[in-house]
Structure 1
Amino acid sequence: MVYTTRLAGGAGGTSGQPNGFEHLLADLGIVQKNGQPHHPTTQGKVERFHPTLKLRLDAQPPAATLAELDDQLAAFRTIYNTTRPHRGLGRRTPASVYHARPPATPALTLGDHRWRTRYDIVGANGTISLRYADCMRHLAIGRSYSRRRVLVLIHHDQTMVIDRTTGEIIAEHRLDPARSYQPKTR
């Protein structure tokens, strides 16, 4: 449920709606692919990995402690990723394939401070609600944005509301703890 609620079928009140992780991946342009539960044939790579790991561990004396097992697993990880060539990679190692390309980076940059994220839909009255300083605050977005899916970024008393379809910043607020209704600052 941490990675997907797609197959939840209403369990835990999710009703199959995407969770925060799924929204974040979609917003960053990352396609999430999950295998079907109880269908190991769709997880071929990980299913093939398990026998390889078991063969390696069986070829060694059994670990007497968790620390020894951890050392055996670390040694296997090094061999598997940096020494042992893989047929599926053209007889190259995973490390060489991984380092052959520059790493992907997120499209979203938000500066050095941490932002709390929230996914919401603008109400018919053009507002969204947000808990701040232990009270519900109603943030003005604009009636023209009603029913739009938005990403809300919150840092201390500042908010930034982004239209999830266009990526456009549609509202910013400086939250006033003395007021329930929060007008836009931009």
Structure 2
Amino acid sequence: MSARAWLIDDDEAIRDALAWLLASRGVACTACASAEEFLARWSSDIGGCIVLDIRMAGMSGAELFQELRQRGNRLPVIFLTGHGDVPMAVAAIKQGAFDFVEKPFNDNELVDRIIAALEVDARRRAAAGSGESKQALLARLTLRERQVMELVLAGKYNKVIADELNISMRTVEVHRARLFEKMGVKTAVELAQLLAAADEN
């Protein structure tokens, strides 16, 4: 099955609205009414991303995320959360989730995040298909870009990176932009996921 967005939400109205929205932007999707339904369809070779409601009847989105981690899932996961679920979603991001979006969400912003997640998965598959290793990816970077990258991946802000490397904040911004461009990513999360995928090669 071709890469697509997998929508997992027990609210039929949200599933229908999201499916329509994605279709209007040319994004293929498959909707599932429960975590259990998705698990019945899941296999390690499917492509795309997962859009997952964090609270559902039966197996919750958080429980499904943990189950998929145990199964070695590599698909980027975007959580849909209510306001009270934000701490849980932040914890999931620290465990490797791609992003979370609060309800009620801005339609176009959500689709933009889904498209970004699909691009990350496509790059990961391309890297895996080419057998490109983490060392090969890092070979593209200058020494200074690698130093900036390590601090970015550690979650440090540009000002802190500038202080630690004794360079200006503007210089950090330039190095950060160049390393993201060379790696083909737009965010630190995407960079971490790309390197994690390359580790498998």
Q: Report the TM-score, using the length of structure 2 for normalisation.
A: 0.23
- Give the number of the structure with larger relative contact order, counting CA–CA contacts within 8 Å between residues 6 or more apart: 2
More strand by share: 1
Choose between structure 1 and 2: higher helix proportion.
2
What TM-score do the two structures reach when normalised by structure 1?
A: 0.24
- Which structure is larger by alpha-carbon Rg, 1 or 2? 1
